[in-house]
């Protein structure tokens, strides 16, 4: 399995418009963060988790090829704002979007022309594949396990694919869901900043979740400019924990 981070920033991205802080002014390319998403190549399938408003920019470096499935975590704009830009990928046929019923309802209200029974020419060709938090599902030979996490009071999904797990926008999770993550080798988990936030984990809270799950390697994502520069924060982390950055690619 090959995983590439397409974006590792929070909803405002980094640099944040109008900000002149150390992070937003950093010359280190690892401190420039598009909105959060990953691209996964596995068993001749190309999958994505979330479809950010920066989707078009994120996909320009790659050849145009079929997307075999997009796993959607929740309805916030920074995770679904790129759905309209799936238009070019419709040349390969419908793009399958895997989502919960609540998320489907929200997207149909927001983007009715993308989900209409009779679409006009040029809109993306999409198929909704409804999933639930308590049941694994298949994409070809690939088994995906949904993980229920809480984004403050909003129930959202993380995903496990074999020995890789991805949890974004998490604030809390139940012990029953932690069991789904036993023996994970590589964990990606969000860490917004160092100070408390109502709906996102702090860096310390992310490290505590990592300590509970005990992956061999962990990567932090969905970071704001308030977390600090990549170079400085990585010096503070345990040896098996790293800050992800846009363009980082790894084999799992």
Q: What is the pLDDT of residue 198?
A: 98
- Both tokens of 24, joined, read 């937003």
The pLDDT, as a whole number, for residue 149 is 98
Question: How far apart are alpha carbons 157 and 170 in whole angstroms?
Answer: 9
The dihedral through the CA atoms of 134, 142, 71, 244 has a sign that is positive
Do 155 and 129 meet the contact criterion of CB atoms below 8 Å apart? no
Predicted confidence pLDDT, tens digits, the chain (252 residues)? 999 999 999 999 999 999 999 999 999 999 999 999 999 999 999 999 999 999 999 999 999 999 999 999 999 999 999 999 999 999 999 999 999 999 999 999 999 999 998 888 889 999 999 999 999 999 999 999 999 999 999 999 999 999 999 999 999 999 999 999 999 999 999 999 999 999 999 999 999 999 999 999 999 999 999 999 999 999 999 999 999 999 999 999
Q: Which two tokens stand for residue 124?
A: 């993306």
Q: What's the confidence (pLDDT) of residue 118?
A: 84
What per-residue confidence (pLDDT) applies to 120?
Answer: 83
Check residue 121 and give its pLDDT. Answer: 84
Model pTM above 0.95: yes
Q: Are 131 and 100 in contact (CB under 8 A)?
A: yes
* All domains in the chain, ordered by first residue: 2-246 (3.60.15.10)
pLDDT of residue 219: 98
Q: Are 170 and 209 in contact (CB under 8 A)?
A: yes
- By the 8 A CB rule, do 199 and 222 touch? no
Q: What pLDDT is recorded for position 117? A: 86
């Amino acid at each position: 399995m090959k995983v590439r981070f397409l974006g590792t920033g929070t909803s405002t991205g980094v640099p944040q418009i109008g900000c002149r802080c150390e992070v937003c002014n950093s010359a280190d390319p690892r401190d420039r963060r598009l909105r959060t998403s990953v691209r996964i190549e596995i068993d001749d399938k190309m999958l994505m988790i979330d479809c950010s408003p920066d989707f078009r920019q994120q996909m320009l470096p790659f050849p145009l090829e079929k997307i075999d499935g997009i796993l959607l975590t929740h309805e916030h704009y920074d995770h679904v704002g790129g759905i309209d830009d799936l238009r070019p990928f419709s040349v390969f046929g419908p793009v399958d979007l895997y989502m919960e019923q609540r998320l489907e309802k929200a997207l149909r209200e927001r983007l009715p022309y993308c989900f209409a029974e009779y679409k006009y020419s040029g809109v993306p060709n999409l198929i909704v594949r409804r999933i639930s938090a308590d049941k694994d599902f298949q994409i070809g030979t690939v088994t995906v396990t949904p993980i229920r996490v809480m984004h403050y009071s909003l129930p959202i999904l993380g995903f496990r694919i074999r020995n890789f797990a991805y949890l974004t926008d998490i604030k809390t999770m139940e012990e029953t869901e932690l069991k789904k993550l036993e023996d994970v080798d590589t964990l990606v988990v969000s860490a917004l900043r160092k100070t408390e936030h109502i709906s996102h984990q702090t860096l310390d809270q992310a490290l505590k979740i990592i300590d509970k799950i005990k992956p061999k390697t962990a990567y932090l994502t969905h970071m704001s400019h308030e977390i600090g520069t990549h170079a400085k924060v990585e010096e503070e982390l345990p040896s098996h924990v790293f800050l992800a950055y846009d363009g980082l690619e790894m084999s799992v």
